[in-house]
Amino acid sequence: MKLRTTLIVLAGLMCAFHSSSYANLLEKNYLLLAPEFNDVSVADSSASEPGLSLAFGTEIHPQWYAEVGYKLIAADFEPPVEPLSTNELQLDSGVDASGLYLSFLGKATGQSGELFYKLGVMAMTYETSNQYDGEQGCDDAEPRVLAVSDGSVTQCDYDDTAIAGIVGAGFDFFVGYRAQIRLQVEHIRGNNDIQINSVQLGYRYNF
């Protein structure tokens, strides 16, 4: 009887240990859904638009996460119409921008959550267009010269993918056993005068 009781207790302890270890392993991963607001500048175009981030993160060291995700940055681009004169130039047609990113988050855990800073890289696709008076060159784009009633107009059409760097900082607040709320600020910069400033408020689910 004592042997049977001992075996039952040992089996229970082993199951508890296994479940605890498995839970600890799983809770080193998370999914992130984060609405954000982005101030975007590409070439001579700009946009201030709501966006969205979707990401998966995993702990690679007690003080580091790796995070891979997708960001919808802006969807504000409207192709410009061809002007009839230089007085009808469309100088800013907005920006479409989105991309995949990989970031590393250095973290410090406290009672109310995790403070982190972020370093990463993004492959960002973007589309925009600018018009200029006269014949000019375009950075990273083929110029298209349009004849108008009082001269000529150069249109620069951008539809490309750029590599950009990411720096950021934020805090993940504990709101439940598996849930955290993320507050983050971020700066992204790349070639062709790409600059993005972002504020993010999102939901993180740990598993």
Give tens-digit pLDDT for 164-190: 999 999 999 999 889 999 999 999 999
* Element holding 104 (H helix, E strand): strand 96-109
Whole-prediction pTM: 0.81
Lowest mean pLDDT among 6-10, 41-45, 54-58: 6-10
What's the whole-number mean pLDDT along residues 8-25?
40
Strands 194-206 and 29-42: antiparallel
Q: Which residue's structure tokens are 């508890």?
A: 16
Structure tokens at 61: 């060291």
**CA nearest to 125, candidates 151, 98, 93:** 98
Among 27, 33, 29, smallest CA distance to 181 is for 33
Residue 177's Cα: distance from chain center in Å? Answer: 26
Terminal Cα distance for the chain, rounded = 40
Question: Could you tell me the two tokens for 65?
Answer: 């996460």
Asked whether the beta carbons of 73 and 97 are under 8 A apart, the reply is yes
State the Cα–Cα distance between residues 56 and 66, nearest whole angstrom.
8
Mean pLDDT of 104-133: 95
Among residues of the chain, what percentage have pLDDT more than 90?
64
